[in-house]
Chain A
Amino acid sequence: MMKEKRELVSVPGKWDISFNYAAGKTVSHFLAQIRDNGRILGMKCAKCHRVMVPPRSFCERCFVPAEDWVELGDEGVVEAFTIVHDVFEGSPPPPYAIAYVKLDGADTALANFVDGLDLSDISEATQRLKIGARVKVEFASRREGRITDFKYRIIG
């Protein structure tokens, strides 16, 4: 019998599905306040008194509804950070830095990009972007009600 050449086939696929995610009234108000007034709001749990940001309409720990809005400061402290030097599909072109910042008046940290750092020099960047560093919120002049309407900038 003749030896048959076995071909191995793979078939390409691509998911192209549109979604429309409802934000709910709490997150909608939070995003609208960022867009319209350049204000960041937190949600306070009436039971444990934690001020949560991102805000939710309930406290997942106490498991009760939450409805007390609190205006947060436009400065805060870095709680955690990542500086990304590798290319990932679906992520921005590197390098970029993201920090979790506990804004003044909040009990939880909110993530966003950190601007104004020279990320090409890693040791220089990590000297400035470190846990405990103070940052200021800088809003974009044109805002669309998305988390990317602001970035953090290190002030000390």
Chain B
Amino acid sequence: MDRRVAIVGIGQTRYETGKTESLDEIAFEAASKALADAGITRDEVDNVVIAASDQLDGRPISSMTLACPAGGYLKDEVKASDDGTLAVVLACLRLLSGVFHTSLVVSWCKCSEVPTAKVTNLSFDPFFHRDLGLNHINALSFQVNSYLSRYPISEWVPAKIVVKNRANAMGNPYAHLVEEVSLEEVVQSPIVCPPLRQLHLPLECDGACALVLTTRERVRLTTQKPVWISGLGWAMDSYYLGERDLHQLSSVAKAARQAYQRAGIKKPIDEIDVAEINELSAYHEIMAYEALDFCTPGEGYKLVEEGSTELTGKIPVNPSGGALAASPLFAAGLVRIAEAALQVRGDAGERQVTGVRTALAASCYGICAQGSSVFILSQES
């Protein structure tokens, strides 16, 4: 059996707040766009893998109402109640098993329908943490403060990340925030939990994203240029923040090592042409550079100061604008894979980086990046 999987279809809705379409409409929009992009119909799909949060969807076992809008009518369908990238992991494993041949992967989130921080507070255990009012945002500052205590970087470094990502989003027709910001606006934006300010944080919004994945044997049945998944890795850290090395993104580092090993990547900064990272904050993007081994620990700021991760730099990061410009929370990781795949295909329009042959997509999810997945996408199989 040929053990290779390709992305052959990409579908995205526009990411924006207060979408008036229903959840099933946005799932259908992304899924049908991905099929059209692949040049196939639902008939060619033999399994559907979805990823979403029941709590954010406001529907326990939301796949009950959403499997069919996502393309699952009378098909094999499974759901990961987790980050969108894990649906890609699951789909890859299903295709590599030889049982399935073409997967439709769909993820969505409508942050505007629910107070997301109240939902993530409920994700904490009821004995030790929930009563403290912790959520996915205020907990981030544990990590950032720990990082800064070890590596005291200037506030202008994360500000440059925000300015970069927001400027990049200007070229992304799907992004929520197409409005540039200045360094001064970032460092003067309202404080949320020091040192994190409003503009350092992802812009939570609504949207859906879908991919069509297929095996090497079936690629010829689609009309699209295949983007090969040449490496992937995923890892889970401890739930207990008091047991973790909070100054580093351990799950990202573990997932990256697996992905690099599978893809045969020795020196990521030289071998990867562009990266899409689901940055949980501007500081987290810097921490991710280190975890992804683009530089040594504590040296992420140098890549920012040198402009290495800007559109014209050595390794552009988040040409789409990343999560800072649009984050449909549970689907935000899948968007990173979609955007990285568009870069490899050369179909990223105004945000296209020149000469991309190999791209990286990384997602962080859970409280303080408890989990992470990393994908290497390439033109060649």
Q: Do A and B come from one complex?
A: yes
Q: Which residues of A contact B270 (CB under 8 A)?
A: none
Mark each residue of chain A from 112 to 137: 1 if its CB lies under 8 Å from any CB of chain B, else 0. 11000000001000100011100000
Contact A21 B126 (CB under 8 A): yes
Contact B118 A100 (CB under 8 A): no
Contact segment of B71-79, B174-182, B235-243, B306-314? B235-243
- Asked if B135 is at the interface of the complex by the 8 Å CB criterion, the answer is yes
Mark each residue of chain B from 193 to 204: 1 if its CB lies under 8 Å from any CB of chain A, else 0. 110000000000
Known: A54-B240, A84-B193, A111-B242. A147 touches B132 (CB 8 A): yes
Residue of B nearest to A102 (CB): B242
Contact A148 B115 (CB under 8 A): no
Complex-state Cα separation, A88 to B190, whole angstroms: 14
Complex-state Cα separation, A111 to B133, whole angstroms: 11
Q: Which residues of B contact A96 (CB under 8 A)?
A: 133
Complex-state Cα separation, A131 to B192, whole angstroms: 19
Residue in B127, B131, B192, B246 whose beta carbon sits within 8 Å of that of A27 in the complex: B127
Contact B191 A85 (CB under 8 A): yes
Contact A8 B132 (CB under 8 A): no
Contact B58 A13 (CB under 8 A): yes
- Asked if B141 is at the interface of the complex by the 8 Å CB criterion, the answer is yes
Residue of A nearest to B60 (CB): A15
Residue of A nearest to B58 (CB): A13
Contact B117 A23 (CB under 8 A): no
Complex-state Cα separation, A112 to B142, whole angstroms: 13
Q: Which residues of A contact B20 (CB under 8 A)?
A: 8, 10
Q: Which residues of B contact A19 (CB under 8 A)?
A: 126
CB < 8 Å A-B pair total: 122
Q: Which residues of B contact A91 (CB under 8 A)?
A: 117, 121, 133-135, 138
Contact A146 B149 (CB under 8 A): no
- Asked if A86 is at the interface of the complex by the 8 Å CB criterion, the answer is yes
Q: B residues 124-177 with Cβ under 8 Å of A?
A: 126-129, 131-135, 137-143, 145-146, 149
Contact B145 A111 (CB under 8 A): no
Complex-state Cα separation, A111 to B243, whole angstroms: 11
Contact A109 B242 (CB under 8 A): yes
Complex-state Cα separation, A155 to B123, whole angstroms: 32
Interface residue tally for chain A (C-beta within 8 Å)? 44
Contact B127 A60 (CB under 8 A): no
Complex-state Cα separation, A131 to B149, whole angstroms: 7
- Asked if A69 is at the interface of the complex by the 8 Å CB criterion, the answer is no
The smallest C-beta distance from B25 to any residue of chain A, in angstroms, reads 12
Complex-state Cα separation, A53 to B127, whole angstroms: 12
Contact A98 B127 (CB under 8 A): no
Q: B residues 246-277 with Cβ under 8 Å of A?
A: 246
Complex-state Cα separation, A8 to B19, whole angstroms: 11
The smallest C-beta distance from B130 to any residue of chain A, in angstroms, reads 9
Residue in A8, A79, A122 whose beta carbon sits within 8 Å of that of B191 in the complex: A122
A-B contact pairs, 28 of them (CB 8 A): A10-B20, A21-B126, A27-B127, A54-B128, A54-B240, A80-B246, A82-B140, A83-B141, A84-B133, A84-B193, A86-B137, A86-B190, A86-B191, A90-B117, A91-B134, A91-B135, A96-B133, A98-B134, A100-B241, A100-B242, A102-B242, A109-B242, A111-B241, A122-B191, A122-B194, A146-B131, A147-B127, A147-B128
Known A-B contacts: A83-B141, A147-B128. Give 19 more (CB < 8 A). A23-B127, A80-B142, A80-B146, A82-B141, A83-B194, A84-B133, A84-B138, A85-B193, A85-B194, A88-B137, A89-B118, A91-B121, A92-B133, A98-B134, A100-B242, A108-B242, A122-B191, A131-B146, A147-B127
Which 7 pairs between the two chains have the least Cβ-Cβ distance? A91-B133, A109-B242, A90-B118, A82-B141, A89-B115, A80-B142, A88-B117
Contact surface of B with A, Cβ cutoff 8 Å? 20, 58, 115, 117-118, 121-122, 126-129, 131-135, 137-143, 145-146, 149, 190-194, 238, 240-243, 246
